Chain A
Amino acid sequence: MLAVRARAEDPVTTCTERLDLRGDGNPVVTVGEWIGALADRLALSHGLRFHAELCLVELIGNTMEHSGGDPADLRIRVEVTLEAEGIRLTIRDNAHAFDPFADRPATAPMHIGADRVGGWGIDLVRRFATRHAYRHVDGQNIVDIEIRL
Chain B
Amino acid sequence: MRIDIQQPDPETTLIVLDGRMDLQGTQAVDQRFAFATTVHRHRILVDFSAVSFLASIGIRTLFVAARAQHQRGGKLVLFAPQPLVRKVLETAGVDQMIPIADSLDAARELAG
Range, interface on chain A: 20 to 34
Residues 71-105 of chain B: 1 if any A CB is under 8 Å from the residue's CB, otherwise 0? 00000000000001001100111101100000000
A47 at interface, CB cutoff 8 A: yes
Taking CB as reference atom, which chain A residue is nearest B66? Answer: A112
Contact partner of B23 among A29, A47, A51, A107, CB < 8 A?
A29
Range, interface on chain B: 20 to 34
The answer to whether A117 and B64 touch (CB under 8 A), given A53-B53, A58-B55, is yes
Find chain A residues with CB under 8 A from B22 CB: 29, 32, 53, 57
Q: Dominant SS at the B interface?
A: helix
Interface of chain A residues 109 through 125 with chain B (CB within 8 A)? 109-114, 117-118, 120-121, 123-124
Interface of chain A residues 76 through 118 with chain B (CB within 8 A)? 107-114, 117-118
Least distance between A21 CB and chain B CB atoms (Å): 14
Taking CB as reference atom, which chain B residue is nearest A119? Answer: B56
B60 at interface, CB cutoff 8 A: yes
**Contact present for B92 and A120 (CB under 8 Å):** yes
Find chain B residues with CB under 8 A from A54 CB: 53, 55, 88
Find chain B residues with CB under 8 A from A29 CB: 22-24
**Contact present for A57 and B23 (CB under 8 Å):** yes
Find chain A residues with CB under 8 A from B56 CB: 58, 61, 118, 120-121, 124
Question: In the complex, A140 Cα to B70 Cα: how many Å?
Answer: 44
Taking CB as reference atom, which chain A residue is nearest B84? Answer: A50
Contact partner of A110 among B70, B84, B87, B96, CB < 8 A?
B96
A66 at interface, CB cutoff 8 A: no
Find chain B residues with CB under 8 A from A147 CB: none
**Contact present for B93 and A108 (CB under 8 Å):** yes
A135 at interface, CB cutoff 8 A: no
Interface of chain A residues 31 through 56 with chain B (CB within 8 A)? 32, 46-47, 50-51, 53-54
A127 at interface, CB cutoff 8 A: yes
6 A–B contacts, CB within 8 A, in A order: A108-B92, A110-B96, A118-B60, A120-B92, A123-B91, A124-B91
Which residue numbers of A lie inside 8 Å of B, CB to CB? 28-29, 32, 46-47, 50-51, 53-54, 57-58, 61, 107-114, 117-118, 120-121, 123-124, 127-128
